Amino acid sequence: MIRVNQLSKQANSTRILRGVSFAVAPQTVLGIIGASGSGKTTLLRCLNGLERINAGTIECDDIRLAANLSGADYARQTKELRRKVGTVFQHLYLFPHLTVLENIIEAPVHVLRMPRDKAKSEALELLESVGLKQATQRYPDSLSGGEQQRVAIARALAMHPAYLLFDEPTSALDPKRAAGLRSLLLSFVQRGHTLVIVSHAIAFLIGLADHLLYMEGGEVIEYGETDKVLNSPIDPRTKDFVEQGQS
């Protein structure tokens, strides 16, 4: 369970996020939508601890990040948080000097101190589940965008996170591959993961996200079940965005 309460974030006296609150129930998918600059990526970076929040709280199971924590406490909580939360960046940031397999086992071996053989066999299973078993010895540069993304997903999953955060997962995919990704993500939910997906592509989230959160100017404009947000939004701004996105 992720609970965000009255979260605010500012950088250089500009407010990027203002009073953001929402919750994500276990084994559900939250889609965060909004135009560029609406603050959705920053929100994601707060959820995985890359940005420190200035007000409010983030709760993730028994972990609690609060703006008023001391630096050391915040760092400790962040460290705990990252054990539970895996992230797949928009730009993926695979490690270019390591092979696909090495990318995936790097953290299990060196952070979790997992025996190399065990890490390898887990990694191979993961690669099989994302359909990339044949590419283990390749280097990331030589893979297509979609393949690279699946490596990044496998790399995040190798740390056994309960929660997975995605930033613009469809930006490099054609519609056919996007559909493939959607079914892959759904399979993760069935296996017990909870997902938060930042995207401006509403079509991708239909049939995937249980709830939608529409952001504009760093504020939550609309938050509710996907169906309601898309079909009967309360705020006219949401309606505008949804209509533009689907046209």
Partner 1 sequence: MINSRKLRHIIVIALAGFCALGSARAQQTLRWGADPSGGAPYVFNDPANPNQYIGYEKEMVDAMAAAMGRQPVFVASDWETLVSALQRGSFDIIVNGLEPTTDRAKQIDFSNAYYVFELQLTVRADEQQIHSLADCHNRVVGTLGNTAASRLMQKEGIPWRGYADPVGAYRDLELKRIDAVLMDVPMEMYYARPNPKLKPAGEPFARGTYNVGLPKGDEKLKAEVNAAIDKIIRDGTLEKILRKWNLWNDAQAELQNPIRAGQPASTVKYDLTSASFNWREAVWRLTRAAFVTVLIAFGSMLIALTLGMPLAVGQWKGPRWLAWLCTIYIEFFRGTPVLVQLLFLYFGLPAIGLAMPGWLTALVGLGLNYAAYESQVYRAALGAIPRGQWEASYLLGMSPMLAFRRIILPQAFRIALPPMTNDFVSLFKDTSVAYAISVWELATAYRELANASGQFLLLGIAVSLFYLLMSLPMAHLARRLERRLQRRDAIEAVEAEQAG
25 or 111: whose CB is closer to partner 1?
Answer: 111
How far from the centroid of its chain's Cα atoms is residue 132's Cα?
21
219 binds partner 1 (CB under 8 A): no
Binding to partner 1 in span 153-172, by CB under 8 A: 155-156, 159
Exposure string for 110-141, b = 16+ CB within 10 A, e = fewer: eeeebeeeebbebbbebbebbebeebbeebbe
Instruction: Annotate each residue in 72-111 with x if it binds partner 1 (CB under 8 A) or - if it does not, as one string.
Output: -------x--xx-xxx-x-x-xxxxx--------xx--xx
Euclidean distance between CA atoms 174 and 182, whole angstroms? 12
What is the nearest approach in angstroms of partner 1 to the Cβ of residue 91? 6
Instruction: Decide: helix, strand or coil at residue 32.
Output: strand
55 or 109: whose CB is closer to partner 1?
Answer: 109
3 or 138: whose CB is closer to partner 1?
Answer: 138
What is the nearest approach in angstroms of partner 1 to the Cβ of residue 50? 6
What is the nearest approach in angstroms of partner 1 to the Cβ of residue 151? 12
Binding to partner 1 in span 109-128, by CB under 8 A: 110-112
For residue 15, what are the β-bridge partners? 10
How far from the centroid of its chain's Cα atoms is residue 99's Cα?
23
Q: Decide: residue 68, CB within 10 A, 0-12 exposed, 13-18 middle, 19+ buried.
A: exposed
94 or 178: whose CB is closer to partner 1?
Answer: 94
Asked if 213 and 59 count as a contact pair (C-beta separation under 8 A), the reply is no
Single out the segment in contact with partner 1 by CB under 8 A; choices: 27-35, 134-142, 169-177, 231-239: 134-142
71 binds partner 1 (CB under 8 A): no
2 or 221: whose CB is closer to partner 1?
Answer: 2
Binding to partner 1 in span 176-205, by CB under 8 A: none
143 or 206: whose CB is closer to partner 1?
Answer: 143
Long-range contact set of residues 103-108: C-beta below 8 Å, sequence gap at least 24: 103/140, 103/151, 103/155, 104/151, 104/154, 104/155, 104/158, 105/158, 106/155, 107/155, 107/158, 107/159, 108/158, 108/159
Q: Which chain residues interact with partner 1 by CB under 8 A?
A: 48, 50, 79, 82-83, 85-87, 89, 91, 93-97, 106-107, 110-112, 138-139, 141-144, 155-156, 159
